[in-house]
Amino acid sequence: MTSERSNRAAVSEHLLAELEARAGDFASLADRIWEYAELGFSEKRSAADQIAILEREGFRIRDNIAGMPTAFVAEAGEGGPVIGFLGEFDALANLSQVPGLAEQKPLSADQPGHGCGHHLLGTGSALAAASVAATLKQQGLPGRVRYYACPAEEGGSGKVFMARAGAFDDLDAAFSWHPSSFWGVYASDTLAVIHAIFSFSGQSSHAAASPHLGRSALDAAELMNVGVNFLREHMLPEARVHYAFRDAGGIAANVVQASSALSYVIRAPNLSEVLSLFERVKDVGRGAALMTGTQVEIKVESGVSNVLPNSVLETLLDNQIQQIGGTPFTTQDFAIADTFAATFTTDQVRHSIRTFGGGIPARRSLHEGIVPFDGKPTRMPVSTDVGDVSWLTPTGRVWGPCYAIGTSYHSWQMVAQGKLAAAHKGMLQAARALALAGLNALGDPELLGRARLELEERRNGEPYVCPIPAEVSPALPA
């Protein structure tokens, strides 16, 4: 037993050495992807740079997954279990920002920016995959390692289309992470979501001379919103329904508007509940059309399942985090973080600590410690397409400490900090945890069996149902 433990420790040390040897190249890759700042399904340069570095690492590439040009799977190794690392690399619209500057100043007006840290997310996962693959090869160990390049997480549901195409069906486990202000296990379930467009069509007419001949699609849209507002009292407290006008029919008040369109985002704690709530929202839309003598077309644009946490993999990840320890931030890192912390409100800092930091008061502007893990998931009222992966294979995630405490997601402050040394250090911490956990999982069939059993228990007999209908394709740019 002592010899086996010693051998495992030696392999782990070798893995970390492989990761350190690649850290500089992958930090540069993250910075380039930050500079490209490409929107979902348009991440051509980001995908190409990832493919180039992984091909040099000896990975085999399968591209154009599920008909998406920027989705690919890179695989290395032979035999044994199959472990996947999930990567994202899309940016957000209108978030261009000068790097390192603690005041809002776009690099280029109306251009995208990495306001959710996906340039770090994808790169850190790819680094973990490359380090594990190199270790397996050097040590002569069986096992296959995959990096999943998953486009358009921000509203495009890239992983859902990949799941629908069977890309994750033979995975024994998946690992991922997300840039954050804290360091620890990401043990949260999320909300399932459906995003649909309700398009009403009626009959235009002169609003004064012949209003009786018109059928107002704008009235239908307004009635739908009223009906959904009454529905809110009678849905699950955890559910959410959001809406926005896509088309109000026009700006002329003396015209009966013949067209209107509403965008609805419907969320609920799990897949079956969101699909049930969606049916009720659809009935409200149909009723609004019936009341106004108009027609309604309902089209699902995207959707994701709720995340099923996996305590077996989360405990494995926490063990690696405890082994790695806190993040080695420098005096300069803290000084720069302090300038960003000065731009946050007290409520932003409190929300960050309460939501991500386990409620433990922060002493400084960067997180030096480790968020305690008690094995129990928390509920986060957000949605991610990682959920669909978690329904198909056991999935574990960590937070990486990349930003000053209080940084809001989808903000200019997050974009501005994306190339700082602290962001690179947080990415490397996450990569270390993922790589160590992946290597341990590959060598522990019993652990993978327990993780699979937990997944089946959490599914509770429910089959995976893709939230996006088969006839809906990815919203690829023209």
Q: Are 448 and 394 in contact (CB under 8 A)?
A: yes
Q: Are 434 and 175 in contact (CB under 8 A)?
A: yes
CA distance 259 to 248: 7
Upper half-sphere CA count for residue 415 (Cβ side, 13 Å): 25
Q: For residue range 145-167, list pLDDT tens digits in order.
A: 999 999 999 989 999 999 999 99
Confidence (pLDDT) at 6: 66
H helix intervals, 140-216: 158-164
**What is the β-pairing status of strands 173-180 and 143-149?**
unpaired
Q: Are 299 and 196 in contact (CB under 8 A)?
A: yes
CA distance 386 to 384: 5
Sign of CA dihedral 175, 180, 184, 186: negative
Confidence (pLDDT) at 478: 80
Amino acid at 253: A
- Of the candidates 62, 71, 74, 66, which has an alpha carbon nearest to the alpha carbon of residue 42? 71
CA distance 161 to 67: 9
Confidence (pLDDT) at 381: 85
Amino acid at 373: F
Sign of CA dihedral 69, 70, 75, 76: positive
Confidence (pLDDT) at 1: 54
Q: Are 157 and 265 in contact (CB under 8 A)?
A: no
Question: Concatenated DSSP letters for 446-469?
Answer: HHHHHHHHHHHHHHTTPPP--SS-
Confidence (pLDDT) at 378: 86
Q: For residue range 224-256, list pLDDT tens digits in order.
A: 999 999 999 999 999 999 999 999 999 999 999
Confidence (pLDDT) at 184: 97
Give the dihedral of Cα atoms 124, 130, 132, 133; nearest 10 deg: 160
Q: What is the CATH number of domain 2-190+307-459?
A: 3.40.630.10
pLDDT tens for the 478 residues of the chain, in order: 566 666 788 999 999 999 999 999 999 999 999 999 999 999 999 999 999 999 999 999 999 999 999 999 999 999 999 999 999 999 999 999 999 999 999 999 999 999 999 999 999 999 999 999 999 999 999 999 999 999 999 989 999 999 999 999 999 999 999 999 999 999 999 999 999 999 999 999 999 999 999 999 999 999 999 999 999 999 999 999 999 999 999 999 999 999 999 999 999 999 899 999 999 999 999 999 999 999 999 999 999 999 999 999 999 999 999 999 999 999 999 999 999 999 999 999 999 999 999 888 889 999 999 999 998 888 888 899 999 999 999 999 999 999 999 999 999 999 999 999 999 999 999 999 999 999 999 999 999 999 999 999 999 999 999 999 999 999 899 8
Q: Biggest alpha carbon distance in the chain?
A: 93
H helix intervals, 173-270: 217-231
Within the chain, all domains assigned CATH 3.40.630.10 are found at: 2-190+307-459
Place of tokens 């009235």: 219
For 192-302, CATH number out of 3.40.190.10, 3.40.50.720, 3.30.70.360, 3.90.930.60 equals 3.30.70.360
Which residues is 78 bridged to in the sheet?
Answer: 143
Length of the chain in residues, anyone? Answer: 478
Burial class (CB in 10 A: 0-12, 13-18, 19+), 371: buried
